[in-house]
Structures are given as C-alpha cells and as structure tokens.
C-alpha cells in the first residue's frame, strides 16, 4: 500500500479527516480490486481516528498482489508507520 496525504489550507471549509481509496487494474480484475479496497477501508477505519490528523486528506493506494495478500495486522502496521513518517517534523 502507498499513502499520499496533504494538509488542507486554512481557506478550505471541510473539517475532520477525509480519505480516498484507489486500486489500478494492475491489482487485478474487479473482484481483486474491490477486495483490496475493502481491506484498505477497514484498515483506515481502525487506524485513522487515532493516528490521522484533523484537517488532512489521505489517499490509500492498493498495490498489486501485496494489498490483498498481506496479513491484515501487517497492513494496519504499515498504515500506522506510513502516517508516522508523513507527520514527523522535518528540520
């Protein structure tokens, strides 16, 4: 999985955490893409309330074979790790 994020500007009215999901045809047929997106949705539902930030938009991108086949606990840990890297303070 790959995660992209951006902090909303102060002139944007939306509040809270917004999240989107995508999987290209490289992931597989429609059944495989939908399964990968369902897994990403559930991982986001469990992880983002605690590790996401208010006022941020996230896009979770499913990857071929890995997203659907990765053990779910590992998928959640991957998302937590990605969020920590995204939000760490840079010098």
- Cα 2 to the center of its chain, rounded Å: 7
For residue 16, give the 3-state DSSP assignment.
coil
Provide the number of structural domains found in the chain: 1
Residue 88 counted as domain residue? no
- Please report whether residue 89 resides in a domain: no
Query: Is 90 exceeded by the pLDDT of residue 89?
Result: no
Which residue range is the domain that position 28 belongs to?
2-79
The predicted-structure confidence for 27-81, as pLDDT tens digits, reads as follows 889 998 899 999 999 999 999 999 999 999 999 999 888 888 899 999 999 999 9
Domain containing 68 — which CATH number? 3.30.230.10
Q: Answer yes or no: is 13 within a domain.
A: yes
- Summarised one tens digit per residue, pLDDT across range 39-49 is 999 999 999 99
What is the value of pTM for the model shown?
Answer: 0.86
Q: Please compute, for residue 55, the number of CA atoms within 13 A of its CA located in the half-sphere on the CB side.
A: 8
Helix (H, G, I), strand (E, B) or coil at 86: helix
- Give domain status of residue 10, yes or no: yes
Helix axes 72-87, 30-51, angle to 10 degrees: 50
Tell me the pLDDT band of 12, cut-offs 50, 70 and 90. confident
């Amino acid at each position: 999985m790959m995660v992209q994020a951006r902090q909303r500007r102060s002139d944007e009215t939306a509040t809270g955490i917004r999240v989107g999901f995508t999987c290209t045809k490289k992931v597989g047929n429609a059944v495989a893409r939908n399964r990968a997106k369902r897994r990403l949705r559930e991982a986001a539902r469990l992880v983002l309330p605690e590790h996401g930030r208010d006022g941020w938009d996230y896009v979770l991108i499913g990857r071929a074979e890995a997203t659907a086949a990765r053990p779910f606990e590992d998928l959640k840990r991957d998302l937590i790790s990605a969020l920590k890297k995204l939000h760490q303070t840079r010098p």
